[in-house]
Amino acid sequence: MKHYIIPFFLTFQGCPHRCIYCDQQAIAGEPTGEVASVMETFLKYHGSEEYSAEIAFFGGTFSLLPLKRQQELLESVVPYIEKGEVRGIRFSTRPDALDEKRLIWYKERFVTHIELGVQSFQKKFLDLLRRGYTPQTARSAVEMVKKSGIGVGIQLMLGFPGQDREMFFKDIDEIRRLKPEDCRLYPLSVISGTPLEKEYQNGGMNFISLETAVDWVADAVEVIEKEGIGIRRIGLPHSPELEEKIIAGLYHPSFADKVRFELLRRSFDKADIRSGQTLSVHPADLQYTYRIARIKKKQVNVVPDSSLRRSTIIIQQ
C-alpha cells in the first residue's frame, strides 16, 4: 500500500531565529494554506486508492508556535483521522524545543513522528551553524522522543567547511547508536541572501567535491540501512528557484540519484553479474539496475521484490 506524507510548509513559523544557512522560502516556497483545502486536493487525486497517509508540518519550528496555533493545526487534522483518511501527524522541530510533558500532549493528539533538525552532533559544527544547542541536547531530544513512543527522525548535514570523512562518520556513528526510525542527509549549501553567504564572501570557506560527497553518503547509507534505519531523503528537494539561489557548497539536483546509482553499482560489481541472469532488486532500484547493466553491457532480466532492502541484488537460480 502506498504511503503519502502530505506536507504543509510553515515557512519559518515558530523559528526563534533564522539559522545562518536557512532559506525556507527558497527550499519550500510560501506557507501552505489550510489543511482542509490541501486535503480536498489530495482526496480528489488519491481518495479512491488503497493508501495510508500522514499530514506533516514542515519548514518551521512547530513546537515553538504559540500553543493555541499548535492546537488549531493539530485539531484541523482530527476529522480526517476520524474518517480514516489520514493515520497521523508529523512535524519537524529543533532538538531544544521539546519536553516530556509536551510529548505526552502531542501523542494524545495523534502525532506519530517528529523530525529533529539536529544537523550535527559535534559542537564545532553546531557553533558554525549557530544552532544554539549542544550535542548533548540533540542526543537527549532523540532519546526523549523515542521514550515517548512517537517515531523520531534525524536531519543531518554534511560538507561543513573543515569537515573530513572521519568527522562525518562520527555523526553517522551517533545515528547508529541512537537508532531513530529514519533520517535525512543533506549537504550544506550556501544560499544567496543568508548570513552564511556573507561569511562565504569573506573567504576561507572550502567545501568537499560532489564526488567526495556521493562517496561519503553512499557509505553512510549502507551503514544506516543495514541498521534498519530508513533513509527519508538524500539532498535538498530540487527546485529551479532554489538552484538559482545556490552560490556555493554542495548542491546537485540529482544528488540522491547519484548516491543510489553508486550503491547499486557497488552491489552489481560485488555480485559479479553475467548476461542471461535474472536479478531481484527493490522496486525503487529497478531503474539504477537497468542503467548499470546497460553501461556494463550485460543482458539481464530484472524483477522487483519489495521485501528486499535497497541496494541489494539477488541473483535468481
Q: Residues interacting with ligand SF4, by CB under 6 A?
A: 12, 15, 18-19, 22, 24, 59-61, 94, 117
Q: Would you say 22 or 248 has its CB closer to ligand SF4?
A: 22
Q: Which amino acid is at 209?
A: S
* Angle in degrees, CA 210, 214, 216, rounded to 5: 115
Side-chain half-sphere exposure of 135, counting CA atoms within 13 A: 11
Separation of CA 85 from chain center: 24
> What does the alpha-carbon distance between residue 24 and residue 34 come to, in Å, rounded to a whole number?
18
Q: Would you say 73 or 313 has its CB closer to ligand SF4?
A: 73
Q: Would you say 61 or 311 has its CB closer to ligand SF4?
A: 61
Residue 40 beta carbon to ligand SF4: minimum distance, rounded to whole angstroms: 27
Residue 185 beta carbon to ligand SF4: minimum distance, rounded to whole angstroms: 15
Residue 92 beta carbon to ligand SF4: minimum distance, rounded to whole angstroms: 7
Q: Would you say 7 or 59 has its CB closer to ligand SF4?
A: 59
User: Which residue carries 542503467 as its cell?
Assistant: 291
Q: Would you say 155 or 312 has its CB closer to ligand SF4?
A: 155
Q: What separation in angstroms does the CA of 104 have from each of 70, 99, 100, 126?
A: 14, 9, 7, 28
Residue 224 beta carbon to ligand SF4: minimum distance, rounded to whole angstroms: 22
Q: What are the grid coordinates assigned to 308, written together?
A: 528486499
> What does the alpha-carbon distance between residue 131 and residue 125 come to, in Å, rounded to a whole number?
9
Q: How many helices (H) and strands (E) does the chain have?
A: 12, 12
Residue 116 beta carbon to ligand SF4: minimum distance, rounded to whole angstroms: 10
